[in-house]
Amino acid sequence: MSDSQYFLDRSLGFLLGDSSRLLRKRFDRLARSFGMTRAQWRVIDVLRRNEGINQTAMADIMDIEPITLGRHIDRLEEAGSVERRPDPDDRRVWRIFLTDNVQPALVEMEKIAIEVRNDAMVDFSPNERERFIDNLIRVKSNLAGTIRRDAGEVANMLEKARAAGGRCDG
C-alpha cells in the first residue's frame, strides 16, 4: 500500500465523516416509523440538550441558517412536538421548548440510538467502548478549542484594524 493510499484509508476526517454518515443511515432506517425527518430528529435532539434556547443560538449550534431551522420548528410545532414561548427579557425573541407530546418519541429515539451504538461497536470490549468515546470527546474538545482560539485571533485582528483607522496589517 502506498503512503498516500495509507493516509487516505486512515484519514481522521474521512473516517469520522464516513462513520457519521453510516450511523445516520442506520438510525434513519430504524427511526422511519416515527414519521419525522432526520432534520426534525436533529432539532429535537439539540433542543433536548438546550431546552429554552432561542432560534438563532440553536441554528448556530446546528450550523444551519435560522430560516431553515424556523421551517423545521414550524413543522414540529404544528405536530405538537415543540412550542415557542416569548423571551421574558426580549419581546423579539422566542424560546423553544419540547412538549409532553414528544416524550414517548424521545424514549424510542434513545432506544434506537443505543441499538445503533451497539451495532457500531459490536466487537468492542466494554473498556474499548469507553476509551473510544473518551478519545472522541478529546478530539471534539481539542477542535472546539482551536475554533475558539481562531475566533479570538480574528476578533483581535479586527479590533487592531479598527484602532488603526480601518487598516489591517495582520
**pLDDT tens readout for residues 91-123:** 888 999 999 999 998 888 889 989 999 999 999
- Pick the closest to residue 76 from 35, 116, 111, 104 (CA basis): 35
Q: What is the pLDDT of residue 5?
A: 82
pLDDT of residue 68: 93
Give the cell for residue 24.
445516520
Contacts 24+ apart (CB under 8 A), 57-63: 58/96
Q: What is the dihedral of CA 11, 143, 21, 60, to 10 degrees?
A: -150
pLDDT < 50: residue spans in the chain: none
pLDDT of residue 147: 84
pTM over 0.75: no
Q: How confident is the prediction for the chain on average, in pLDDT?
A: 89
Task: Please give the radius of gyration of the chain, using alpha carbons only, rounded to the nearest integer.
Answer: 21
Residue 84 sits at φ, ψ, to 5 deg, of -100, 135
The pLDDT of residue 169: 52
Place of cell 426534525: 40
Burial-class residue 55 by CB neighbours within 10 Å (0-12, 13-18, 19+): middle
Could you count the other beta carbons within 10 Å of the beta carbon of residue 133? 13
- Residue 151 C-alpha cell reads as 475566533
Instruction: Say what the pLDDT of residue 53 is.
Output: 95
Q: What's the CA gap between 85 and 97, in Å, rounded? A: 8
